[in-house]
Amino acid sequence: MLCLAIETSCDESAVSLLESEAGSFRVLSEEISSQTKIHEKYGGVVPELASREHLSALPLMLDAVMEKNQCRLADIGLLAVTQGPGLKGCLLIGLGVAKGMACAGNIPIVGVNHIEGHIRSARIANSELSYPYLALVVSGGHTEIVQVDQLGVYKVLARTKDDAAGEAFDKAANLLGLSYPGGAALAALADNYLTENRGIIERDLALPKVMRGSNDFSFSGLKTAIVLLIRREGTRIADESRRAALAAAIQEAIVDTLVHRVEQMVLRTGITRVAVCGGVSANRLLQKRLAALSGITLFVPSKLHCMDNATMIGFVGIERFQVSRVGASNLEVRSFWPVEELGVP
């Protein structure tokens, strides 16, 4: 069966064509079109511009994927589309296109939760990842540790009270003069610094360890501490090596907060399989620190599937359809959609 998957929840338009057969699947084609260049000058995603861009990019991407695989609408056995959570106007574009195709081709359609896509993305390359496992979801909009008991059964063990880890990276990157979103650029600067300085952070740049006593995450306090630290540096941040030292200290503080909470949850639940997913999971220090936690096995998606992509949406769509055998009708956008509400298909 061929599954065509569409993702438009934020600022990436993505399309993937997957083939599933007897419990296994392979990706025939996948395309991601990032809108970073459009939103860069505003320092964040502008929802109206994002929807408009999805509207112009998506039909071209779909045509390209179908043509490349010599595939017609009649060959598609399943449509999977991100139904939420995300920006309403953006979700509407993907969902509208999918519903139109479903109607024209009489194809079943599965509405997929974007966070469920991230949670399960570690299983795309690691089918041996068995239940239960803990998923650390770290992206521009989400920071959660989720206990995954089976398809659709999720318990959120820790969530952020305010900002997401990705936002903390991006805010700090912005203050260091790096262009939006900036998380990956800050990490690259920090990693270079650590390589040249034998992994040692400048002592006078150490940031406070916040929210140690709580079960949840909070990045707003850390963000304020980062702002104050950079302000204190004054004109010294004009110096490239000082900026790199700051980047290393900031990365250390954010990563340490995430790893500390994962360690706590592993101890509390006794679950030792840990998956890390979402854009921030591409961070090398985060992967290294998690992998070094004693007694755990770490699962990381491929770099492409760490960020927003349609393959993870198709993967979940296929998993759900294989169980339920029914497509949905009258799908509506769900811009707020906690994973605990999902349930088994």
Question: What does the binding site for Zn ion look like in residue numbers (CB under 5 A)?
Answer: 139, 308
Residue 249 or 316: the one with the smaller Cβ distance to Zn ion is 316
Cβ distance 41 to 52 under 8 Å?
Answer: no
Rounded CA-CA distance 15/8 in Å is: 9
Peptide bond connecting 181 to the previous residue in cis, omega within 30 degrees of 0: yes
Q: Which does 233 bind (CB under 5 to 8 A by kind): ligand KG4, Zn ion, none?
A: none
Q: Which of residues 170-199 bind ligand KG4 (CB under 6 A)?
A: 170, 181-184, 187
Among 18, 189, 229, 280, binds ligand KG4 (CB under 6 A): 280
Amino acid identity at 167:
E
Residue 308 or 319: the one with the smaller Cβ distance to Zn ion is 308
- Residue in this structure with the two tokens 């995450």, named with its chain if needed: 217
CA distance to 138, 189, 216, 288, per residue, from 283 (Å):
10, 12, 21, 9
Residue 173 or 342: the one with the smaller Cβ distance to ligand KG4 is 173
- Residue in this structure with the two tokens 């079943």, named with its chain if needed: 108
DSSP-assigned beta bridge partners for residue 5: 16, 80
Among 148, 178, 201, 282, binds ligand KG4 (CB under 6 A): 282
Stretch that binds ligand KG4, among 55-63, 138-146, 216-224, 238-246 (CB under 6 A): 138-146
Among 84, 111, 141, 301, binds ligand KG4 (CB under 6 A): 141
Rounded CA-CA distance 170/94 in Å is: 26
Which candidate, 105, 115, 93, 211, places its Cα nearest to that of 163? 211
Residue 135 found at the interface with ligand KG4 (CB under 6 A): no
Residue 308 found at the interface with ligand KG4 (CB under 6 A): yes
**How many Cα atoms within 13 Å fall on the side-chain side of residue 164?**
18
- Could you say which DSSP state residue 150 is in? E
Residue 139 found at the interface with ligand KG4 (CB under 6 A): yes
CA distance to 168, 205, 230, 250, 316, per residue, from 208 (Å):
14, 10, 14, 10, 39
Shortest distance, position 135 Cβ to Zn ion, whole Å: 13
Burial class (CB in 10 A: 0-12, 13-18, 19+), 260: middle
Q: Which does 108 bind (CB under 5 to 8 A by kind): Zn ion, ligand KG4, none?
A: none
Size, binding site for ligand KG4 by CB under 6 A: 19
Among 140, 152, 301, 327, binds ligand KG4 (CB under 6 A): 140
Rounded CA-CA distance 114/182 in Å is: 22
Shortest distance, position 163 Cβ to Zn ion, whole Å: 15
Q: Which of residues 239-268 bind ligand KG4 (CB under 6 A)?
A: none
Stretch that binds ligand KG4, among 100-108, 200-208, 272-280, 325-333 (CB under 6 A): 272-280
List of residues contacting ligand KG4 (CB under 6 A)? 10, 139-141, 166, 169-170, 181-184, 187, 278-280, 282-283, 307-308
